[in-house]
Chain A
Amino acid sequence: MPMNVVVPVKPVVDPKAVVRFKPDGTIDRSAVKLVANPYDKHAVEAAVQLKERFGGRVVSISMAPPHAADAIREVLAMGVDEAVLLSDPRLAGSDTLATSYALSAAVRKLEQKLGRVDLVLCGIESSDSNTGHIGPEIGEWLGTPSVSYVDRILEVGDGYVMVKRLIEGGYVVMRVRLPAVLSIAGTSYQPRIPSLRDVLAARRKQIVVWSVDDVGIDPSLVGLAGSPTRVVKMWKVEIKRRGKIISDADVDRAIDRLLEELRRDGVPLGV
């Protein structure tokens, strides 16, 4: 059974780049390269694997300014069939609630276009704000089941998927009715490095740009005005802790020294 999968992909500041901060504590985004959120690439990989196995289409949606197109080409190279860029000045300043609303509206529009969307696969979080909200919130807006921390999709059946969900100290296997929203953990679905041919072809692919009006988004629910979250202050965390290396050719002696230091620091050891 072919599956249509939508993957929200967030363009983020390259985590490997050296970033500069503005006086107000926010990142200076003017001169930094945007890349696809590394966590989202696991979701893209999962979606492309589903397509390779069952057929169907994989569409990515990103909400970002127009210059984020380069980041989206990364996922086009990985096998995404079509990329939609939701770009509108009215979306600027959206928090996760407003963003998930806008993205869910785009999913509904894609539903009309494709006839059916079976799965929305999200990354577990973004590398720049790390909230992990977007997946479950899209599920709420769409009124579908949503499962977070999905390690693997174990089985695809008629109208359902069986997934392995990570929990503290173990995992649960869940059967989920479709359509559904899954947040894919970074534990499996290692993102492929695309071939140069696919990379070059991605450069030639068209990215569809949609505005707030194209998608039928209520403008009062997005942007700063539509965002209940208020960022009061941002500051750089100073890491004051310092590592200490205990080296000793005799491992037992090294462990004794470590225990001794921990006891001296008042760490409860239970031994």
Chain B
Amino acid sequence: MPVDFELTREQEDVRSTVREFAEKYVAPRVVEFEERQQVAPEIIREMARLGLFGVVFPEEYGGLGLDPVTAGVVLEELVRADLTFSLAVAYLVHTSWGYVAYKYGSEEFRENLIKRAAAGDLWIGIATTEPGAGSDLVGITTTARRDGDGYVISGEKAYISGVKEARERGVWFPDGGGHVTLAYTDKTKLHRGMSLFFVPLTDPNVSVRLEKEFGRKGWSFGSFVLNDVRIPESYRIGEEGRGFYIAMEGFDHARAYIALACAVGGKRAIELAAEYAKQRRAFGEPVASFQGVQFQLADNWARLEAAHALAYKALWALKMEQEGRIGRFEVTKIAAAAKLFAVQAAKAAIDDALRWFGAYGYTEENPVALALKAVKSYDWAEGSLDIMRLIVAREVLGREYIARRRQ
């Protein structure tokens, strides 16, 4: 009986603990996150105390040593309570990119930074996109040059999550944070000349600019300029020239978590709207008794159930990969398919669910309305939907069908 949807007792314990926290402390403050455009710092500190920033790191580095599936259980509870997805982003970006930074980071890096990240003292983000390069990462212009026993990095990263939280020490995280940053170490080699570096955003040679975000306003979004930022060699993540490939691995993690967040967020939106539709009456009936609502609900729920299962398959695939039982590209394919499907399923479901509220759907007090704006970010975040399509097609058809770069 290899297919099993049951959670272990350990996972059930994790779920009930995070749910208690999320229902008691997070859910009542979600509208405030959006209004004040920030997550209350004490919520993040409490998450740190509970160990939520150390879920996937090994115990020897202060983490809980749990697998991606269990990390997904934590994410589910954060999303259920916070449909602005602000905590989802804070958690899933750190969990995905922190893990990759741990995996490829030097021993010195693990001792100094991963331990702090696992304790929730330091947040880890991701920065690949630039003003002139997103899906086509070969176009990045950020460069890192060797300088003595370290590197000097210059360039600009744009549309990056968590820049404010990483920049400000002692507010959300005692040590602020930094971003796993993609830069050329040898431009002539294109993507084989890229490397990854951990760049602390607290560095005085980093300047941060915030964007006015469309939704998901609780976790900042903006750009940062690196003006000859000096970092030690130990902050390089993986070998020189491997940055692009390691980044692709990190995207697999983030995409699997995003798929789960979307599936669960979509389901939660349907649940909230269904509750309303049962109470609200029109033409002498509860709104929920109209088939126009019921058929929408059923179609969306079916898609969300499928998305939910596929998201867990992607997290399971990451776990299998960690155990050496499944290949890299298989994981990439499943994670891309999961994100591709779940984002669309969630957007459609939330949009429909919002309509059942009538005009009350068109207010910023309605968490489902906030969810609609938030999931829109996943059209792009951690790889656009069209890039997901290209990946799935490439893995199904074969690599000889990859579209060639026009010179």
Instruction: Output the nearest chain A residue to B48 by Cβ-Cβ distance.
Output: A195
**Closest partner residue, chain A, to B20 (CB atom):** A193
Complex: A2 Cα to B52 Cα, angstroms: 32
A152 to B57, CA, bound (A): 39
A203 at the interface (CB under 8 A from B): yes
Among B8-16, B141-149, B245-253, B255-263, the stretch in contact with A: B8-16
Question: What is the CA–CA distance of A11 and B273 in the complex, to the nearest angstrom?
Answer: 35
Assess A200 versus B20: contact at CB under 8 Å? Given A195-B49, A195-B50, A195-B51: no
**A199 touching B13, Cβ below 8 Å:** yes
Q: Report yes or no: B20 in contact with A196, Cβ–Cβ below 8 A.
A: no
Is A203 in contact with B10, judged by CB distance below 8 angstroms?
yes
**Closest CB of chain A to B74's CB: distance in Å?**
8
Residues 255 to 287 of chain B near chain A (Cβ within 8 Å): none
Chain B residues contacting A197 (CB-CB under 8 Å) are 51, 64
**CB-CB < 8 A to B18: which residues of A?**
196
Asked if B9 and A196 make an inter-chain contact with CB atoms under 8 angstroms apart, the answer reads no
Q: Is A219 an interface residue (CB 8 A)?
A: no
Question: In the assembly, what is the distance between CA of A236 and CA of B253, in Å?
Answer: 51
* A154-207 with Cβ < 8 A to chain B: 193-197, 199-200, 202-203
Distance from A205 Cβ to chain B, minimum over Cβ atoms (Å): 12
Expressed in whole angstroms, the Cα–Cα distance for A194 and B14 within the complex equals 10
Q: How far is the CA of A169 from the CA of B365 in the complex (A)?
A: 39
- Bound-state CA distance A207–B10 (Å) is 17
Q: Is B17 close to A, CB under 8 A?
A: yes
Tell me, in angstroms, the Cα distance from A70 to B10 when the chains sit together: 11
Task: State A212–B11 Cα separation when bound (angstroms).
Answer: 34
The A-contacting residues of B in range 35-77, CB under 8 angstroms, are 49-52, 55, 64
- Residues A193 and B50 in contact in the complex (CB < 8 Å), given A199-B17, A200-B64: yes
Q: Which residue of B lies closest to A194 (CB)?
A: B17
Q: How far is the CA of A66 from the CA of B9 in the complex (A)?
A: 17
CA distance A70 to B12 in the complex (A): 11
Residues of B within 8 A of A195 (CB): 49-51
A-chain residues with CB within 8 Å of residue B20 when the two chains form the complex: 193
With the chains together, A73 CA to B24 CA distance in Å? Answer: 21
Residues of B within 8 A of A200 (CB): 10, 13-14, 64
B51 near A203: Cβ-Cβ < 8 Å: no
Classify the secondary structure of B's interface with A. Answer: helix
Kindly report which residue of chain B lies nearest to residue A191, judged by CB atoms.
B20
Complex: A44 Cα to B95 Cα, angstroms: 33
- Nearest CB of chain A from residue B28's CB, rounded to whole Å: 15
A203 adjacent to B50 (CB under 8 Å): no
Which residues does chain A contribute within 8 Å of B13, judged by CB atoms? 73, 77, 199-200, 202-203
Which residues of chain A are near B9, meaning CB under 8 Å? Answer: 70, 203
Closest Cβ neighbor of B24 among chain A residues:
A193
A133 to B21, CA, bound (A): 31
Contacts of A199 in B (CB 8 A): 13-14, 17
What are the residues of chain A within 8 A of B17 when measuring CB–CB? 77, 193-194, 196, 199
Q: Which residues of B contact A202 (CB under 8 A)?
A: 13
Whole-angstrom CA separation of A165 from B24 in the bound complex: 27
Interface residues of A in 56-97 (CB under 8 A from B): 70, 73, 77
| Chain B residues positioned under 8 Å from A203 (CB to CB) | 9-10, 13
Per-residue contact bits, chain B 106-135, to A (CB 8 Å; 1 contact, 0 not): 000000000000000000000000000000
In Å, the complex CA distance between A77 and B20 comes to 14
Tell me which residues from 369 to 397 in chain B have a Cβ below 8 Å from any Cβ of chain A.
none
- B64 contact set on A, CB distance < 8 A: 196-197, 200
Query: Which B residues touch A194, using CB under 8 A?
Result: 17
Question: Which chain A residue shows the least CB distance to B65?
Answer: A200
Residue with the greatest number of chain B CB neighbours at <10 A, chosen from A193, A197, A202, A203: A193
Distance, CA A73 to CA B10, complexed state (A)? 11
Contact with B along A106-147 (1 / 0, CB 8 A): 000000000000000000000000000000000000000000
Neighbouring B residues of A70 by C-beta, 8 Å: 9
Report chain B residues within 8 Å CB of A77.
Answer: 13, 17
Taken together as a complex, chains A and B put the C-alpha atoms of A73 and B12 apart, in Å, by 13
How far apart sit A202 and B10, CA to CA, in the bound complex (Å)?
Answer: 10
Interface positions of B from 337 to 390, Cβ below 8 Å from A: none
Q: Pick from B13, B14, B52 the residue with the most CB of A within 10 Å.
A: B13
In angstroms, Cα B18 to Cα A194, docked, is 10
B21: chain A residues at CB < 8 Å are: 193
A203, B10: Cα distance in complex, Å: 7
Closest-by-CB residue of A relative to B62 is A197
Q: Which residues of B contact A193 (CB under 8 A)?
A: 17, 20-21, 24, 50
How long is the Cα–Cα vector from A195 to B55 in the complex, in angstroms? 11
Contact with B along A207-234 (1 / 0, CB 8 A): 0000000000000000000000000000
* Closest chain A residue, CB of each to CB of B74: A196
- State A199–B51 Cα separation when bound (angstroms): 10
Closest to B51 in A: A196
A77 to B55: give the CA distance in the assembly, Å: 17
In the complex, the chain A residue whose C-beta lies closest to that of B63 is A197
Q: Which residues of B contact A73 (CB under 8 A)?
A: 13
* Minimum Cβ distance to chain A for residue B55 (Å): 7
Central interface residue in A195, A196, A200, by most chain B CB within 10 Å = A196
Chain A CB count within 10 A is highest, among B17, B49, B64, for: B17
A53 to B71, CA, bound (A): 34
Other A-B contacts than A196-B50, A196-B52, 4 sampled, CB-CB below 8 A, are A70-B9, A77-B17, A195-B51, A197-B64
Closest 8 CB pairs of A and B: A196-B51, A195-B51, A199-B13, A199-B17, A195-B50, A193-B21, A197-B51, A193-B20
29 contacts between A and B (CB under 8 A): A70-B9, A77-B13, A77-B17, A193-B17, A193-B20, A193-B21, A193-B24, A193-B50, A194-B17, A195-B49, A195-B50, A195-B51, A196-B14, A196-B18, A196-B50, A196-B52, A196-B55, A196-B64, A197-B51, A197-B64, A199-B13, A200-B10, A200-B13, A200-B14, A200-B64, A202-B13, A203-B9, A203-B10, A203-B13
**Which residues does A use to contact B, with CB under 8 Å?**
70, 73, 77, 193-197, 199-200, 202-203
